[in-house]
Amino acid sequence: MSAAIIDGKALASQIKADLQERIAHLKSKGIVPALTVILVGDDPASAVYVNSKHNTFVQLGLKSEVIRMPADTSQETLLNKIRELNQDKNLHGILVQLPLPKHIDTNTVIDTIDPNKDVDGFHVSNAGALMTGNPRFIPCTPYGVMKMLESQHITIRGAEAVVVGASNIVGKPMALLLQKEGATVTICNSKTKDLAAHTRRADILVVATGRPEMVTGDMIKPGAVVIDVGINRGADGKLKGDVEFASASQVAGAITPVPGGVGPMTIVMLLVNTIESAERLL
Ligand SMILES: Nc1nc(=O)c2c([nH]1)NC[C@@H]1CN(c3ccc(C(=O)N[C@@H](CCC(=O)O)C(=O)O)cc3)C=[N+]21
């Protein structure tokens, strides 16, 4: 058996095209959706992602600004910059690129962002709003995964869903979204005993561990939908997922590739969240 490929790049393009109308409407009311990204330090991977976000926003006629700060920036300097951006009436989204240098406390930084501008959906109050069923901003990666499942008409209600990885930015919100749509959700982590026994039960398997190719075909239920959130760059410069594509695609019913899967969806959902933020001013 050979799995259907869920093309995140194509779906992202389609969603971008569908956003044009909403952007035009905002502009007709004098509002140009605007995002500011803060990048602290000079991690090369972060620089690539930040440029990619910036280019996408500019292509669609939105405002995008990138503030680059040196790696030795003090936490207080960063917090003061965020407080300044919080006050900017023409700014709808603020994103602090992660990971941050070790001397900076990530939660303190995230929780300084105005929750109404937290288009990542990482602020504790936005995490709480999602958990209690009334989300303000849905974190971009899990939001994009839900759009991918929707595009394939995959039945979530009653499905066995297994999420491997329990991070605040992907695993936990992913589990909540699947649960909200009626899946029975298991969240696995690095301490899980007999991971394969869990993954083999999954009708929908989402892998977000940051461990290259850790899920192999023998761990997958025949016909399952496999969503690979991993973006691991090898020494050869090639991107690898958290799922071993060659073996997994022999067993799965549908699978996302890396690159061209979840990554492009993450960026387009950032657009969606920024536009939604701007629309709340209408
Ligand atoms: N505050 C914050 N918000 C984030 O959303 C955030 C972050 N920090 N830190 C880093 C991760 C990672 N991330 C990606 C987004 C797009 C691709 C993407 O478009 N990937 C392309 C390939 C790009 C390449 O070649 O490297 C693809 O999968 O096809 C990847 C990774 C967002 N992140």
- Is 88 designated active site? no
- Is 42 designated active site? no
- For the CA of 48, the closest atom of ligand 1 is 26
Q: What residue ranges do the domains of the chain occupy?
A: 30-117, 139-263
Residue nearest atom 10 in ligand 1 by C-alpha distance: 98
pLDDT at residue 1, rounded to an integer: 64
CATH class as words, domain 139-263: alpha beta
Q: pLDDT tens-digit profile of 105-133?
A: 999 999 999 999 999 999 999 999 999 99
Kindly give the distance from the C-alpha atom of residue 119 to the centroid of ligand 1, in angstroms, as a whole number. 15
Out of 53, 147, 172, 240, the active site residue is 53
Residue nearest atom 16 in ligand 1 by C-alpha distance: 263
- Predicted complex ipTM: 0.97
Kindly give the distance from the C-alpha atom of residue 28 to the centroid of ligand 1, in angstroms, as a whole number. 31
Q: To which H or E segment does residue 15 belong?
A: helix 8-28
Got the DSSP string for 228-276? Answer: E---EE-TTS-EE-SB-HHHHHHH-SEE--SSSSHHHHHHHHHHHHHHH
pLDDT at residue 68, rounded to an integer: 97
Identify the residues whose C-beta falls under 6 Å from ligand 1: 48-49, 52, 95-98, 120, 140, 231, 239, 258-260, 263-264, 266-267
Q: pLDDT tens-digit profile of 150-192?
A: 999 999 999 999 999 999 999 999 999 999 999 999 999 999 9
pTM above 0.90, yes or no: yes
Asked if the domains at 30-117 and 139-263 fall in one CATH topology, the answer is: yes
Q: pLDDT tens-digit profile of 229-275?
A: 999 998 898 999 999 999 999 999 999 999 999 999 999 999 999 99
End-to-end CA distance of the chain: 50
Q: What share of the chain has pLDDT > 90, as a percent? A: 97
- For the CA of 139, the closest atom of ligand 1 is 5
Task: Give the pair of three-digit tokens for residue 13.
Answer: 């393009």
pLDDT at residue 66, rounded to an integer: 98
* Rounded (to 5) percent helix, strand, coil in the chain: 45, 15, 40
Q: Which CATH fold would you assign to the domain 30-117?
A: Rossmann fold (3.40.50)
